[in-house]
């Protein structure tokens, strides 16, 4: 079976996985915040807040003050999306990577397909 990610160096895939996990953790914080307050005692919410607060502090200088506080993690996640979709392919010299712009999600989809549909 042909692996579409084979031409990429390991460091590229590792960097994308890290950026992807940060992006999805920020999105998860926004989703959890729809149902729970930031100071909730629920373990997953505390984990999301603990993991994402340092990232939000780094992006505080470029975060507009008019944003509603619960949407700030989504705004920061957008930066990670843009880095993964536009900056990474440009730095690697690719004009268009298409679906390969998201190796993390592609691998997750491949595993789910093998679990549920590949018999």
- Summarised one tens digit per residue, pLDDT across range 84-112 is 887 777 777 665 555 556 777 777 878 88
Whole-angstrom Cα distance, residue 78 to residue 56?
A: 12
Whole-angstrom Cα distance, residue 66 to residue 84?
A: 26
Whole-angstrom distance between the N-terminal and C-terminal Cα of the chain? 15
pLDDT at 76 exceeding the cut of 90? yes
The predicted model scores a pTM of: 0.80
**Please, what is the Cα angle at 30 between 21 and 15, to 5 degrees?**
15
- Summarised one tens digit per residue, pLDDT across range 37-57 is 999 999 989 998 999 999 999
- pLDDT band at residue 58, thresholds of 50, 70 and 90? very high
pLDDT at 115 exceeding the cut of 60? yes
Mean residue pLDDT across the chain: 85
Question: What's the average model confidence in pLDDT over 62-72?
Answer: 94
The percent of residues above 70 in pLDDT, for the chain, comes to 85
Indicate the domain borders of the chain. Answer: 10-116
pLDDT at 2 exceeding the cut of 70? no
Question: What's the average model confidence in pLDDT over 58-82?
Answer: 94
**Residue 64, helix vs strand vs coil:** coil
């Amino acid at each position: 079976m042909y692996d579409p990610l084979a031409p990429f160096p390991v460091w590229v895939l590792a960097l994308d996985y890290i950026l992807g996990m940060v992006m999805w953790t920020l999105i998860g914080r926004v989703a959890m915040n729809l149902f729970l307050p930031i100071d909730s005692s629920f373990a997953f919410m505390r984990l999301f807040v603990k993991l994402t607060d340092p990232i939000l502090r780094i992006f505080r200088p470029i975060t507009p003050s008019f944003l509603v506080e619960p949407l700030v993690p989504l705004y920061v996640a957008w930066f990670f999306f843009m880095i993964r979709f536009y900056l990474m392919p440009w730095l690697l010299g690719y004009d268009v990577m298409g679906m390969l712009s998201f190796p993390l999600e592609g691998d997750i989809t491949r595993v789910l397909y093998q679990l549920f549909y590949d018999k």
